[in-house]
């Protein structure tokens, strides 16, 4: 007879996983704002420092509030281990520092967060790590870019800002065949919509700053994966180098995870409604959203994600002038490059997030002067549309 107890569902884990109640009996999770922890004896201190006995030592690498966030996110991503970091960028740095060495090679998607590209090109290359970039959905290009020194494949799906997808299972098969690490930045979907580890990724990285927080309050990051690579190797880097998450920020993210699923469902619902409305507007040349039936990877998005996400981009006829005019007429939407907030945000990628690329690089990436990106928040869809009305009709 099958006596395995049922595993809790996602929404239950999001609220309950990782919580260790203290002797005070608190119902909400406590914030442990302490830099160090006290031992019963010199022998116990020695055992905790050596790792012979589990327990807290020092908040650079052991803190109960940070641990609660790590355990909850690990449960949601379906990973063995999670290490939280001071930012999304330090999470990516920690992956590279713990998994790569001089002489190694990364194959990465050409549609990556700008600072990730800067980290790879400006800093990693200086330490002898080479990077090749390929089009996200060109699987032959991924394979052809691999050399004898390739160690890692790195991607975001869906991409920013054009919402292109890659099939994680296809890239996972390539990674298995060539004994490479497949790293997926799951910032846009979060585990509420996409679970890369279950699709064959080895490591998932997050900017917790975005949807995990969900209210634009704190900067932080996290890495999820197996016990050896993340729980030991990456944890070892964090313990030594110290890009650690503060207990307060960990607590904000921990509580953010409790509402993640219902927030993501609301973001998805409004984003789809907005995308369908934008398609009908006279000045809009093209709308990029995986939930639209004419999105080139709509079928993959249906298969790989349980929702289409909260980011919608579109091209305006009239180039930069029309795009800036639309943005400047917004009274509700915030002109800011952050995303994943309850507040809708509007951005002109060509002159902000992608402004440091050359014109040729932008052309190749499809980032035109008329492109606008919206991170659809939790305001009413009617109010968001009313705010955009001027710019899409006149
Ligand atoms: C914001 C972002 C990052 C970097 O995260 P920070 O928390 O800002 O350091 C990495 N990847 C993606 C996809 C992002 O959107």
Domain ranges, ordered by start, for the chain: 10-258, 261-393
- Segment 205-218 mean pLDDT: 97
Atom of ligand 1 nearest to the CA of 339: 15
Q: Average the pLDDT over 204-223 and give the result.
A: 97
Banded model confidence at residue 393, pLDDT cuts 50, 70, 90: confident
The CA distance from 111 to 364, in Å, is 10
Ligand 1 nearest-atom number relative to CA 219: 7
Could you report the per-residue pLDDT of 310-341, keeping only the tens digit for each? 999 999 999 999 999 999 999 999 999 889 99
Residue 129 or residue 355, greater confidence:
129
Residues in the chain: 394
Domain 10-258 class in CATH: alpha beta
pLDDT of residue 7: 87
Average pLDDT, the chain: 95
| Separation CA 316–CA 140 (nearest Å) | 32
Q: Please name which of 164, 168, 114 lies closest in space to residue 358, comparing C-alpha atoms.
A: 114
Q: Are 250 and 66 in contact (CB under 8 A)?
A: yes
From ligand 1's centre to the CA of 243, what distance in Å?
15
Distances (CA, A) of 321 to 277, 359, 360, 364, 389: 22, 17, 20, 21, 16
The distance of Cα 350 from the centroid of its chain, to the nearest Å, equals 21
- Buried b vs exposed e over 86-105: b needs ≥16 C-beta within 10 Å? bbbbbbbbbbbbbbbeeebb
Q: SS3 for 225?
A: strand
Query: How confident is the model over 243-275, as pLDDT tens digits?
Result: 999 999 999 999 999 999 999 999 999 999 999
Element (H, E) at 316: strand 311-316
Alpha carbon of 111 to ligand 1 centroid (Å): 13
* Mean pLDDT (whole number) for 363-384: 94
Mutate to test the pocket of ligand 1, among 115, 155, 243, 373 (most ligand atoms within 8 A of CB): 115
Which atom belonging to ligand 1 lies closest to the Cα atom of 208?
Answer: 7
Structure tokens at 314: 């579109």
State the distance from the centre of ligand 1 to the C-alpha of 234, rounded, in angstroms: 18
> Hey, CA dihedral for 247, 253, 223, 209, is it positive or negative?
negative
**Binding pocket residue ranges, ligand 1, CB within 6 Å:** 87-89, 113, 115-116, 156, 160, 185, 187, 207, 209-210, 219, 221
Q: Pick the residue whose CA is nearest to atom 12 on ligand 1.
A: 113
CATH class of 261-393: alpha beta
Cβ burial, residue 195 (10 Å; 0-12/13-18/19+): buried
Tell me how far CA of residue 356 lies from CA of 222, 349, 352, in angstroms.
Answer: 26, 10, 8
Q: Which of 89-98, 173-182, 189-198, 363-372 has the lowest mean pLDDT?
A: 363-372
Q: Cis peptide before 158, with omega less than 30 degrees from 0?
A: yes
């Amino acid at each position: 007879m099958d006596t395995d107890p049922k595993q809790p569902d996602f929404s239950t884990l999001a609220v309950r996983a990782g919580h260790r109640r203290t002797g005070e009996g608190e119902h909400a999770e406590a914030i442990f704002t302490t830099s160090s922890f006290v031992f019963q004896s010199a022998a116990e201190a020695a055992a905790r420092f050596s790792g012979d006995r589990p327990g807290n030592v020092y908040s650079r690498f052991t803190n109960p509030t940070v641990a609660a966030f790590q355990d909850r996110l690990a449960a949601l991503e379906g990973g063995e281990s999670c290490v939280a970091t001071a930012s999304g960028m330090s999470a990516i740095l920690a992956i590279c520092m713990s998994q790569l060495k001089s002489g190694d090679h990364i194959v990465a998607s050409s549609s990556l967060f700008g600072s990730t590209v800067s980290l790879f090109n400006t800093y990693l290359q200086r330490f002898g790590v080479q990077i090749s970039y390929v089009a996200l959905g060109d699987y032959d290009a991924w394979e052809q870019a691999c050399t004898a020194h390739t160690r890692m494949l790195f991607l975001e799906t869906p991409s920013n800002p054009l919402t292109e997808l890659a099939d994680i299972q296809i890239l996972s098969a390539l990674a298995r065949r060539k004994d490479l690490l497949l790293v997926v930045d799951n910032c846009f979907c979060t585990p509420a919509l996409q679970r890369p580890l279950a699709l064959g990724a080895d490591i998932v990285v997050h900017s917790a700053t975005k949807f995990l927080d969900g209210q634009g309050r704190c900067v932080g990051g996290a890495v999820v994966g197996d016990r050896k690579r993340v729980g030991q190797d990456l944890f070892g880097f964090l313990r030594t180098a110290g890009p650690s998450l503060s207990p307060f920020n960990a607590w904000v993210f921990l509580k953010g995870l409790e509402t993640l699923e219902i927030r993501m469902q609301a973001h998805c619902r409004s984003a789809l409604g907005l995308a369908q409305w934008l398609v009908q507007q006279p000045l809009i040349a093209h709308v990029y959203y995986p939930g639209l039936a004419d999105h080139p990877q709509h079928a993959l998005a249906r298969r790989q994600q349980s929702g289409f996400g909260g980011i919608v981009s579109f091209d305006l006829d009239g180039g930069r002038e029309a795009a800036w005019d639309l943005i400047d007429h917004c009274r509700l939407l915030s002109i800011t490059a952050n995303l994943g907030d309850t507040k809708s945000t509007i951005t002109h990628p060509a002159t902000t997030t992608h402004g440091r690329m050359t014109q040729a690089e932008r052309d190749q990436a499809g980032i035109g002067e008329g492109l606008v990106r919206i991170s659809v928040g939790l305001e009413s869809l009617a109010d968001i549309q009313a705010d955009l009305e001027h710019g899409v009709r006149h």
